[in-house]
Amino acid sequence: MLERAEKFIRFFGTAVACVLIPAQILTSLAYLTGRRIIQFSTTPLQELEWHLFFALVFLSFGAVLLADRHVRIDVFRDRMSPKTRSYIEIIGFVIALVPFSLALIYFGSALSWRAFQVGEGSRAALGLPYRWIIKAMMPLGGLFLLFAGMIITKRNINFILETRRTKAS
Amino acid sequence: MIDLLPLFMIITLMLFLFSGYPVGFVLVGVTSLFSMIAIFADLMSVAKLQLFALRSYSMLAESLVFSAVVPLILMGVILARSGQIESFMSVISRAFRWLPGSLPITVLVVGILIAPSAGLIGAAVGTLTIATLPALLKQGYSPKVATSAVAAAGTLGIILPPAVMLFFLADLTELPIIETFTGVLYPAALIFGLYAVYFMINAKAVPADQIVYPVSESIAVSIVKVTGPIVVVGSVLVSIASGWVTPTQSGSIGAFAAFLLMVATRPVSLNLLKEICVETATIVAMVFLIIIAANAFTLVFRVLDGDQMVENFLIAMNLGAWGTLIFVLFVVFVLGFIIDWLEIVVISLPIFMPILVELDFSAHVGDPLLVKVWFATLFALVLQTSFVTPPFGFALFFLRGSAPPEVTMSDIYRGAVPIVFLQLIVLSLVLAVPWLATSIASSIN
């Protein structure tokens, strides 16, 4: 189950990067040529630009955690034993990653749900409608992050159990 | 005791940061711990927690500045991954081989071109070390001079427009991006000049038989290789300075130009494109995780009256305007020993800026906008210096990590000393003569 989830999060992260980044660049360039040269209404493009950016940020958290690329201060970490590091990862998951993911999921959903109920759209006349979609990226990102964290924690628990077993035998 | 909660919050943060757990999550962990304490002590209502999602959303959505980070990082990743730096170096070093110190100076130029879009200092210095240090050593420069050149180039590039760092400084000091860009121009030019003189004095011309790169291409190809990266980075600066486009659009122009250059100069596989996108998304996610987390942290810190505490502390110290400014700059300098600019900027500036803007520097600098430009420039310069100050300088560890094994830490330290010295000269000049930072901004307005 977790192996499958891991594969999916990695694949999803790659897909998000390969679709949203080129899309944002092209949107920006289309907006630029639209506004400066052809002069058609570009409000939707301008909003699409930050929609894509916003989605990229939140949907990438989980995959980056799996790739272990989040910034760490490793002055002391370099000198720790692998076992100490595993313990820190597990404790960190419980007291930091879980609250963060849950906050994203819970408060993000509330935000998105409220936007859905009132039918929130852009404040600009020609802007994009359905703000709840982009707001829903927060809980979705939180969900991926939580799963990624669970996968890594399971790996660390296994590692600690294994070192214990080899010591006992 | 309750009054001291914000202080404990900072201390807990510092301690937990050293656990080596990702910075963003440590920030959130400490924040949730202290918001629980605050809720139990009736200092904060549960409803306040909702602000977390609301602020994360409103900060990133509809921001004209933050979405520019994606194309800028993409441009940097394309330039670094597509071999543009190596070919740039090979052509320049061949053309100027008669000039003493030409290769270190070339490395400085490379730093100016790629470091601004590399994102964090670790990425900038790491990329530069891998791309340039082997060539420097092969051409017979001593490890001291060679590492000196890389450290100088990486840190100079991290503060130059269109540096990602300047976008965040602009956001947190509430300055327009153009004014922030203009502030660092003269100081950076001064630093560049001092470095160039230093390398000319300290490095001999390279004998012809030690030229590393083979000559096998026409002049036309060489010209493309040299002008390509300059045009790419230049397109961002020119378009943003023209005032015609938003920062995101000018970044997109740069990213698109870098992409065209890559397609024109080398075979491009789908796999390479995929790697470039994934690398860009990774850097973007790691930067903005910290932004969102630091935002949550300052939110709770403020609810606990932490900003008030810092202000009272600084007032009680009674240092005067200059003393307070120097104190704040010193704190930023020390923080630069252990953490990257991003964490420093997003954690310390929201706490210090409200106090700094209250200080009266109008006689020394001019109107409030110019004072802010001056502050932003000073922050950039102080961070730059703190990254290369032995023995802790954050950039030095990344240099060591990416350098070949024969380069020792003491080589790197000895190489860094003259760099720090030259930077401090410029920093004190900017402190004494704010005109260096504010002249362009004042002529724009």
Blockwise average pLDDT, block size 10, chain B, 445 residues: 83 87 91 91 83 86 82 88 81 78 87 81 81 82 89 90 88 88 93 93 61 62 83 88 84 93 88 93 88 87 85 85 92 80 84 87 86 94 88 77 81 90 95 92 83
Q: B115 Cβ partners below 8 Å, 6+ apart?
A: B124, B127, B128, B153, B154, B155, B156, B157, B158, B160, B163
User: CB of B393 within 8 A of CB of B387?
Assistant: yes
Residue B216's pLDDT is 59
Per-residue pLDDT for A38 more than 70? no
Inter-chain contact A95–B57, Cβ cutoff 8 Å? no
Q: B61 Cβ partners below 8 Å, 6+ apart?
A: A50, A54, A134
| Chain B residues inside the 8 Å CB shell of A64 | 281-282, 285-286, 289
SS3 of chain A: helix, strand, coil, percent, to 5: 80, 0, 20
Lowest-confidence pick of A24-33, A41-50, A81-90, A91-100: A41-50
Q: How confident is the prediction for chain A on average, in pLDDT?
A: 89
Higher pLDDT, A74 or B3: B3
Largest CA distance in chain A: 76
Inter-chain contact B29–A134, Cβ cutoff 8 Å? no
Rounded to a whole number, what is the distance in Å from the CA of A130 to chain B's nearest CA? 14
Lowest-confidence pick of A79-83, A130-134, B212-216, B332-336: B212-216
pLDDT band at A32, cuts 50/70/90?
Answer: confident
Nearest alpha carbon to residue B151 among B167, B136, B166, B170: B136
Inter-chain contact B60–A64, Cβ cutoff 8 Å? no
From residue A76, how far is each of A72, B19, B78, B132, B405 by CA, in Å?
10, 7, 33, 29, 21
Rounded to an integer, the average pLDDT of A129-136 is 90
pLDDT band at A153, cuts 50/70/90?
Answer: very high
In this prediction, the answer to ipTM > 0.95 reads: no
Residue B217's pLDDT is 65
The H-assigned helical ranges of B304-403 are: 306-317, 320-338, 341-358, 368-388, 394-402
Per-residue pLDDT for A150 more than 90? yes
Lowest-confidence pick of A66-70, A76-80, B102-106, B259-263: A76-80
From residue B387, how far is each of A21, B11, B209, B337, B423 by CA, in Å?
31, 22, 36, 6, 11
Q: Which helix (H) or strand (E) holds B220?
A: helix B219-242
Inter-chain contact A92–B70, Cβ cutoff 8 Å? no
Per-residue pLDDT for A56 more than 80? yes
- Inform me whether the C-beta atom of residue A64 falls under 8 Å from chain B C-beta atoms: yes
Q: Which helix (H) or strand (E) holds A150?
A: helix A137-168
Q: How many distinct helices (H) and strands (E) make up chain B?
A: 20, 0
Verify cis geometry, omega within 30 degrees of 0, for the bond prior to B247. Answer: no
- Inform me whether the C-beta atom of residue A94 falls under 8 Å from chain B C-beta atoms: no
Instruction: Provide the token pair at B102.
Output: 């030409």
Residue B187's pLDDT is 95
Tokens 């003269």, located at residue: B186
Length of chain A: 169
